[in-house]
């Protein structure tokens, strides 16, 4: 074997090795992206279902504290809207909660929290408390929050007023006028649009976005209809 043949053989082996390594890297990167996407969608679906069930089980009666509250914090991927309402059932609080079978308030927002190891995490958090049999000095702001998911980076909500009659154009769907806040005391919106922003598949890309529209069955009753 001449020196030229040896150099060609070594160069060809290096080319094949480099190609195989790059293909392996691309496969690993695609696998990681797929796993990240799968995990985000799976957890996002779970959180979204909990929110949907919680909103559909919204409870109302003609007494203070039984309405809906929305605090707007923008509509971008970093939005941290806060919603609070009264509900029944175990969604968002767990079936082992002592007040799952009675009316209780829940508050959902994105927060920064410090875990037991001192590491700061960002995610969707919830806190809840029963409305009845509370002490006179009870303050809901002191109720501790529970982290639902560290994959939720942003949370945006909009509301639909049940009393607003939108104009209808012949042969066209009516225009829905969504609001970024809810200031009506002790009433429920007809529907709530929820948007969750999840981590992007690759660094530098746009966050994943999940959106649902939830109708609140007791909205008409709360509006006196």
Q: Rounded to whole angstroms, how far apart are CA atoms 197 and 97?
A: 28
* Nearest CA among 145, 150, 79 for reference residue 121: 150
Contact 174, 167 (CB under 8 A): yes
* pLDDT value for 171: 52
pLDDT at 137 over 60: yes
Cα–chain center distance at 114: 20
In-domain check, residue 172: yes
Q: In whole numbers, what is the pLDDT of the chain averaged over residues?
A: 86
169-189: string of b/e by CB count within 10 Å (b at 16+)? eeeeeeeeeebbebebeebbb
Q: Which 3 state secondary structure label does DSSP give 193?
A: strand
Say how many domains are in the chain: 1
Return the H-helix or E-strand segment holding 191: strand 191-198
Q: Rounded to whole angstroms, how far apart are CA atoms 178 and 72?
A: 13
- Which residue would you say has higher pLDDT here, 186 or 73? 73
Q: Rounded to whole angstroms, how far apart are CA atoms 218 and 61?
A: 9
pLDDT at 31 over 80: no
Going by pLDDT thresholds of 50, 70 and 90, the confidence category of residue 166 is very low
Going by pLDDT thresholds of 50, 70 and 90, the confidence category of residue 53 is very high
Q: Which domain holds residue 66?
A: 33-222
In-domain check, residue 4: no
In-domain check, residue 157: yes
Q: What pTM value is reported for the model?
A: 0.80
In-domain check, residue 12: no
* pLDDT value for 1: 60
* pLDDT value for 156: 96
Q: What is the pLDDT of residues 69-125, one digit of tens each?
A: 999 999 899 999 999 999 999 999 998 999 998 999 999 999 998 766 778 888 999
In-domain check, residue 6: no
Percent of the chain with pLDDT over 90: 41
In-domain check, residue 142: yes
In-domain check, residue 27: no
Return the H-helix or E-strand segment holding 9: helix 3-56
In-domain check, residue 28: no
């Amino acid at each position: 074997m001449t020196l030229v043949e040896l150099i060609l053989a070594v160069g060809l082996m290096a080319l094949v090795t480099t190609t195989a390594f790059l293909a392996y890297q691309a496969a690993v990167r695609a696998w990681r992206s797929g796993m990240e996407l799968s995990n985000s969608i799976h957890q996002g679906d779970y959180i979204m279902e909990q929110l949907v069930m919680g909103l559909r089980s919204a409870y109302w009666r003609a007494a203070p504290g039984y309405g809906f509250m929305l605090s707007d914090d923008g509509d971008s991927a970093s939005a941290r809207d806060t919603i609070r309402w009264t509900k029944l059932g175990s969604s968002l609080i767990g079936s082992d909660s002592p007040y799952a079978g009675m009316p209780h308030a829940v508050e959902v927002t994105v927060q920064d929290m410090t875990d037991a190891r001192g590491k700061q995490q960002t995610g969707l958090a919830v806190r809840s408390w029963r409305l009845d049999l509370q002490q006179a000095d009870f303050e809901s702001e002191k109720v501790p929050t529970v982290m639902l998911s560290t994959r939720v980076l942003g949370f945006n909500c909009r509301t639909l007023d049940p009393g607003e009659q939108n104009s209808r154009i012949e042969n066209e769907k009516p225009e829905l006028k969504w609001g970024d806040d809810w200031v009506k005391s002790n009433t429920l919106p007809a529907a709530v649009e929820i948007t969750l922003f999840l981590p992007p598949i690759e660094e530098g890309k746009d966050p994943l976005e999940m959106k649902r529209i939830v109708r609140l069955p007791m909205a008409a009753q709360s509006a006196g209809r």
